[in-house]
Amino acid sequence: MRVRFWGTRGSIGVALTSADVRDRLAQALVHASGRTFASYEEAHAYASSELDFSLTHTFGGHTPCVELELPGEEYYVCDMGSGARPFGVHVLAKQARRPATVNVFMSHVHWDHIMGFPFFGPAYVPGTKIHIHGCHDVVEQAFRLQQSPPCFPVGWEQLGATIDFIRLEPDKPYKVNGMTVTPHLQLHSGDSYGYRFEHEGKSVIYSTDSEHKLENRAEAETFAAFFRGADLVIFDAMYALAEAISIKADWGHSSNIVGVELCQMARAKHLMLFHHEPANNDATLEGLLKEARRFEELTRGDQPLKVSAAYDGLEVDL
């Protein structure tokens, strides 16, 4: 299974500013001074292998959209944030005019998780099938509402795809083709649901927009059981721990450190920090990643936990 991140920022999309790009370019030139490059390819290889991550990458960008690529013809995707637009471009290119079948799993319907759907190209292609799964009773209403006047010029009835909504119940495993999917209720304004995906012995947790109160032992153990032994846990790490337990308590999100603690309890293998706070720049996000890695080292038991931070375009093979 391959996990592909199309959108990793929380709440609202962000882009690098002109000043950010200029700054990176200047730093890269200083780094490369004295070097010469015979071709674009040579310069590209240098940038890929020798420049710092902070000069060649940016975290976030689009709002949540994460694809699970499995063998077979169908597509599987969590949430339809603005990352659904480039995901749609990818689907159209790969299909080469054949209509696609896309299985969508919705954590909840806050705007950052549905805003990409009106820009999801395959939705306009006749013959396309889109199955939208979720545990809320308002999923269909939310999708239709955002494509209603006066907010959007193209109405729901103008979509070419056949779109159906499938209501799931929490903690019940479902089979979707060869994959098992189990939703789980999370603490968030209006509720959100995490998903555990299992396929051929590999497991991925998609757990965004979820606040944890670890002092409640029973709650922590429920999540440790949900994350149990997962190969990858995509985790709402919007805040630093200090923010999450003070000013931003009850805001419905979690932190990098709580992610490490829950994954350690669950003996999960890889924690992916996700749903980055839009106010945080790349340096701050890199700092949160380093802090989480340091905390993991200090508290490590007999099993190490890999810790990463998601960025648009990242692919993880399991």
Residues that bind Zn ion (CB under 5 A): 10, 110, 112, 209
Nearest approach in angstroms of CB 108 to Zn ion is 6
Nearer to Zn ion, 112 or 261 (CB): 112
Nearest approach in angstroms of CB 56 to Zn ion is 27
Nearest approach in angstroms of CB 87 to Zn ion is 17
Residue nearest to Zn ion (CB): 110
Which helix (H) or strand (E) segment holds residue 103: the answer is strand 101-105
Using CA atoms, how far residue 178 sits from 34, 76, 126, 271, in Å, is 54, 12, 26, 25
Find the Cα–Cα–Cα–Cα dihedral 300, 205, 285, 55, rounded to 10°. 100
Nearer to Zn ion, 156 or 251 (CB): 251
Nearer to Zn ion, 275 or 293 (CB): 275
Nearest approach in angstroms of CB 27 to Zn ion is 32
**DSSP annotation of 13:** -
Nearest approach in angstroms of CB 66 to Zn ion is 12
Nearer to Zn ion, 113 or 196 (CB): 113
d(CA 247, CA 112): 22
Nearest approach in angstroms of CB 230 to Zn ion is 21
How would you label 53-65 residue by residue, b for 16+ Cβ within 10 Å and e otherwise? Answer: eebebbbbbbbbb
Would you say the C-alpha torsion 197, 200, 203, 204 has a positive or negative sign? Answer: negative
Nearest approach in angstroms of CB 190 to Zn ion is 8
Nearer to Zn ion, 110 or 199 (CB): 110
Nearer to Zn ion, 110 or 248 (CB): 110
Cβ atoms within 10 Å of 306's Cβ, excluding its own: 13
Beta-bridged to residue 7, according to DSSP, are 65
21 three-state secondary structure: helix
Nearest approach in angstroms of CB 257 to Zn ion is 20
Cβ(143)–Cβ(111) below 8 Å: no
Nearer to Zn ion, 81 or 118 (CB): 81
Cβ(158)–Cβ(150) below 8 Å: no
Which helix (H) or strand (E) segment holds residue 66: the answer is strand 65-69
Nearest approach in angstroms of CB 195 to Zn ion is 15
Q: For 131, phi and psi rounded to 5 degrees?
A: -105, 110
Nearer to Zn ion, 209 or 312 (CB): 209
105 three-state secondary structure: strand
Which helix (H) or strand (E) segment holds residue 199: the answer is strand 192-199
Nearer to Zn ion, 10 or 194 (CB): 10
Tokens of 263: 């994954």
Q: In a 10 Å sphere around its CB, with 0-12 CB exposed, 13-18 middle and 19+ buried, how is residue 260 labelled?
A: buried
